[in-house]
Amino acid sequence: MAAAAAAAAAAAGAQMAGAPTAAASKLLSLSGVFAVYKPKGLTSAELLNQLKEKLLAEAGMSFQHGKKRKKQALKIGHGGTLDSAATGVLVIGIGKGTKMLREMLSGSKKYVTTGQLGKATDTLDATGKITEEKPYDQITQRDMECILEKFTGDIMQVPPLYSALKKDGQRLSTLMKKGKTVEAKPARQVTVYSLSLQKFQPPLFTLDVECGGGFYIRSLVSDIGKELSSCASVQELTRTKQGPFTLEEHALREDKWTIDAIAQSLEYGTSLLPQEPALEKFKEEDSKECAVSCEKKADSPRLDHWPTVLHWGSPSLATANTKDNWVWECDHNVLFLEDESLLFLMACQDDSTPRLGTSLPTGNYSLNLVENL
């Protein structure tokens, strides 16, 4: 008995001294992408922290709270923000899978949303204050269906003021809540692959939407209301699909946020994704030329997930929709994106299509920080 107790004490001491448990080893070996269900009321970042804390607790590892927490061994991120009032699919990358999230950020997404005619709010959804009320009795189902054709394909869209986009390092929504005057961001091109009316019971209407990255459902519903000579706001929003992950088949509920369940989901989830193409290597002389032309102006932010390129071309200005919404500028129409110890080069094949270039050691390239939105 004494020997057994001594062995147990030694094992406990080894664990306290840093020896990983079997659960910890399995957790840290997880790599890939999977999907979870995001309930209403949580931000995507809050959900990510809850998921991470739960997994670390199961593995017997500590979770450090606060923005200034030290770098932790478990690397995890999400592939596209959902509004706190929205529900549905949120794709998660773990381990090396965080580098696959770029596909999720820029890839297609499907939503079901219910809008309300006749009421506009400052947030463009039911969480905000009513700013305008207009009649809607004159609007017919046929009117609505005809209007939707104007919002299909490549369209220009102004992002909501209450959004994760930033100005001077602060979210626009935070500045608005502080009573600051905030100008709307310029309209940008977004893509709607399909848009259909599922139900029309005025003042409510339900839409089925498939869109590309950087698209705001709240702006869509608001713009539809204006186009119908009325106004509208989002009442309910659910993301039903992101990339190959669907709400019904793949999104893990909170009771399935376990190491074993996620490991199983990763095996299935990775098989859904197309194989990543080999990265094209640039000539050494081109690399040296870029290295000379791009001077580092400020400290680079740490990216928790892959950015989405929203604009590129001439002049050589590219906007990266990252956690902190940084704008980078380099010569030769290239965008350098930092992810921990590597820099990833985004270059333009032509005026409209970016391609992923090569990854290089940090010392080989530097970044020119133009503006922090």
Q: Active-site residues: which are they?
A: 83
**Residue 174 DSSP one-character state:** H
User: In degrees rounded to 5, what are phi and psi of residue 109?
Assistant: -140, 150
- The encoded tokens of residue 57 equal 């607790």
- The encoded tokens of residue 193 equal 């692959």
Reference 344, options 364, 324, 314; nearest CA is 364
Contact 132/120 with Cβ under 8 angstroms? Answer: yes
DSSP string, 177-211: HTT---PPPPPEEEEEEEEEEEEEETTEEEEEEEE
Element spanning 219, H or E: helix 217-227
Calculate the alpha carbon distances from 91 to 78, 165, 167, 184, 269 in Å.
6, 20, 27, 29, 10
For the chain, the C-alpha Rg in angstroms (whole number) is 23
For residue 86, the Cα-to-chain-centroid distance in whole angstroms is 14
β-strand partners of 154: 191
